Structure formats: structure tokens, C-alpha cells
Amino acid sequence: MSGHGPDGPPHDPPNGRLPRARGRALEGALLAVAVLAGAGFLYAIAGGQLEPAPSSSNGGPAPLACAASSSPAPSSLQIPASSPSGSHPAGSVLGVSYQVRALAASGAPAQVVVQMPSVLTLFPLAPAGTASVFVPATSLTVNTSAWAAGPSTTRSHPIDQTTTFDPAGGTVLSTQLIAVMASGPAGSVRLEVRWSWNLTDPTGSVENGGWTIPTDQGPFPSLFSPQPFAQLVATSGSPEPAGATFTVTLAADPAPSSYLLKLENATTGATLNTATFAPAGSASTFSGSIDLTGPSGGLAPGPYLVHVHGPCGGILYSVPVQVTPGTAPAAARP
């Protein structure tokens, strides 16, 4: 078994250069699509309502006190912002930064450790295309006294050619449907996240986007309850043959709550298989498995994703797996 990073395929852009993605980068509020420089493929997660992780049926204590959410991907972020304007010459630098703060609440811990997934900021261009800046996943110690930030929440990349931004295009910060997690019991803390951008021309002229204002409204609120933390310890790895059993191992508070695994087509987002699992007894490390099969039993070779949903429904991890030909007949991928 081999370990994987927390968010699957994204990588920092090569050579510190600002990547460009052709076409529209965000097709509606419930579809996040990004061409990630250096990844070599289109990483897409389709939206729609996610099935909530089922509660425990083993007769144990009640499930976690999850915060109510109408989001299609609880505790994930898609935060809109104003867009840069005009044309900017080669040598300009586009910088982004985000900050996190906990909200004071009765009985809440004085501080929490927040696990932020990787973040992609998308800037529509004119007449077409999208510029993006990628910020890797990080952990932050957050309290109610100040906004938490640092080098790990800031990125700057040079623009290598004259670039014209679309001021009406819809600039956004996205965690690509991956949830923000935090230490402590579910529902014990609420977080707010804000972000800003700045664009510096070679002459030293600076255009600032200003900080976004956190809100608890909409399908992707930036004032929200995070998902209970669980660490991805290991996976079966990749590639795997069709029909194989894919296993993930987590480390978390062993509350008697179920986790959900979903096998999805990496291109279309279609769900092909699901499986649930739960901690056993007092074990702090536990595993769950899902068969690499489709609705008809077979699975065509190609790229897939195994999504790990937490007890409160959020997508904690998205693990890529390349499926190779197996012994079972392969069905066409939806």
C-alpha cells in the first residue's frame, strides 16, 4: 500500500509560471472544472446533490452532531470575487492570498487546527480562456482573535505574455468540492474564509481586488461548519485492475459513524459504485474498501476517482486511480 497526498491529482504549476486553461473554467455553481498545469489531464468534478453519509446502525451511540447544510458539497468553498481589468504586459505578477478565522461560540475550543485542501483561483480572460493560481493544501492553527494566514496561504506567479482579463467573467476561489476539515467534535466550531488578489505591473503599479466578505448564504458559504478531521493514511495505490478491491485507511476519532466511498468517472463525474465503512470498537485507524466495478459489473480501463466522504457528508479526499484491464468483462464507461 502506498500513501497519497490529501487532494489527489493537483500539482503546483511548473517553473513558477502562471498557467492558462482554454475554455470556461467554471460552468455554473455546481461544476468545478480546471486544467491543472503539469497534471497532464482534465481534472473535473461534477456537481449535483451528494448522498449524505449514512448514520451508524450498530446500536451504538448517536451519530455526530453534524451541522445542517444544503450545499451540494458540504464545507467546500467556491468564493466569488471582483475581477482584474484591462491588459497587463508580460512580467506582471498575479498574487493571491486567503485567510481563515474561527467564530467564538459557547463551549467552543480556544483554537482549532484547520486542514485546508488545495485551492485553485480562476481568473477569466478576454476574449476567452482562464488564468489560474494554485495554492497547495496546508494546516493552520486558527483562533477567534485574528485571521490565520502565512506563506502557505499565499502564492504569486508571473505572467509570461500580455494578458487581458475579463472584468465580468466571474473570478473565484475554489477547493474543487473538497471539504475543509478541523479538529474537535462536529459542530463545535464555525469558520470564515476570505481571499484577495493583487496584480503588479513591471512599472510597480498595483491593482488590488480587496478582501471578500464571508457569508453563510448560497450553495457554497464561506462562513460554515467544517468537517470532522480524518487523516488519509494509505490507499491501495494506482494502477489497479478492473474488478479489484480498492482500500483506503483513515485515522480519526473512532466515533461510531459511517464513512462513504464513491467510485466516479474522472471525466464525467458519474457515480459507478458506493460502499460504506465505519470504525470498529476503539480503533483510531480503520479501513474501508470499494470494488472497482460499474453498475453492470465490468469497468473499462481509464482514469477514475475514489471519493472519501466523511460522517457529515463532505468530500474529505479525492483519490485518483488508473484502472487497467481486469479478468471481468469491461463495460463502457458512462
pLDDT tens per residue across span 57-79 = 333 334 467 888 888 899 999 99
- 3-state SS of the chain is CECCCCCCCCCCCHHHCCCEECCCCECCCCCEEEECCCCCCEEEECCCCCCCCCCCCCCCCCCCCCCCCCCCCCCCCEEEECCCCEEECCCCEEEEEEEEEEECCCCCCCEEEEEECCEEEEEEECCCCEEEEEECCEEEEEECCCCECCHHHEEEEECCCCEEECCCCCEEEECCCECCEECCCCCCCEEEEEEEEEEECCCCCEEECCCCCCCCCCCCCCEECCEECEEEEEECCCCEECCCEEEEEEEECCCCCCEEEEEEECCCCCEEEEEEECCCCCCCEEEEEEECCCCCCCCCCEEEEEEEECCCCCEEEEEEEEEECCCCCCCCCC
Whether residue 254 has pLDDT greater than 90: no
Query: Residue 34's pLDDT is what?
Result: 31
In this structure, what are the phi and psi dihedrals at residue 15, rounded to the nearest 5 degrees? Answer: 60, 15
Angle at 198 between CA 195 and CA 200, to 5 degrees: 165
pLDDT per residue over 8-20, tens digit each? 333 333 333 343 3
What whole-number distance in Å separates Cα of residue 255 and Cα of residue 63? 8
Cell of 100: 481563515
Whether residue 215 has pLDDT greater than 60: yes
How sure is the predictor about 107, in pLDDT bands with cuts at 50, 70 and 90? low
Domains and CATH numbers, the chain: 14-51+67-227 (no CATH), 230-324 (2.60.40.1220)
Whether residue 138 has pLDDT greater than 70: yes
Share of the chain above pLDDT 70, in %: 76
Whether 235 contacts 280, CB under 8 Å = no
Model pTM score: 0.80
Query: Residue 238's pLDDT is what?
Result: 95
The rounded radius of gyration (Å) of the Cα atoms in the chain is: 20
Whether residue 289 has pLDDT greater than 60: yes
How sure is the predictor about 176, in pLDDT bands with cuts at 50, 70 and 90? very high
What whole-number distance in Å separates Cα of residue 247 and Cα of residue 244? 10
Other C-beta atoms lying within 10 Å of the C-beta of residue 25: 25
In this structure, what are the phi and psi dihedrals at residue 311, rounded to the nearest 5 degrees? Answer: -60, -25
Cell of 191: 469558520
Query: Residue 94's pLDDT is what?
Result: 97
Which residue in the block uniquely carries the three cell numbers 466571474?
170
Whether residue 330 has pLDDT greater than 60: no
What whole-number distance in Å separates Cα of residue 269 and Cα of residue 289? 20
Share of the chain above pLDDT 90, in %: 62
Cell of 249: 485507511
Query: Residue 268's pLDDT is what?
Result: 94
- Give me the residues paired with residue 122 across strands: 132, 172
- Give me the residues paired with residue 249 across strands: 234, 287
What whole-number distance in Å separates Cα of residue 91 and Cα of residue 287? 49
